Amino acid sequence: MGLNILFESRKRIRHGINLVPLINIVFLLLIFFMLSGTLVTPDKFDIELPESDQGHSQETMPIVVLIRADGTVAVNNVPILFSDLAEALKFEIDAGAVPKLMVRADASANTADVIAVLRHAKISGIEAISLATQTNTPP
């Protein structure tokens, strides 16, 4: 009678760097930066805001009107005609937006255009209006 004994062979230990955790971290960082990049929406127009010594931040998100130096206007980053501004503001309020207005006008924009936007805001029923500025940087 022969004795059959099976011995397990030794398992070979692999030496080296396991790249799976590193790849997981890289993909997580990629997803994080992709999502955080979409949270900030840039303005439709390039606007250089006027400077101010004092300023307060907004608690709620108002309706944003952009005014370029050439007089073109956008409501919440959607370009519109100046004649349709009051209707667009009424539409935003009817859609559930807070009836507050933030005017982001270029520093070299015509003052008459800014006043016309304020007039259209009053026509559409908005009474809380703020002008966006940037803080002065000391020389």
Specify the pLDDT at position 77: 83
Confidence of residue 18 (pLDDT cuts 50, 70, 90): confident
The domains of the chain, with CATH numbers, are: 51-135 (3.30.420.270)
pTM surpassing 0.75? no
Interval 24-80: pLDDT, tens: 999 999 998 888 776 656 666 666 666 666 655 555 678 888 888 888 898 888 888
User: Residue 117: in which H helix or E strand, if any?
Assistant: helix 111-123
CA distance 25 to 31: 10
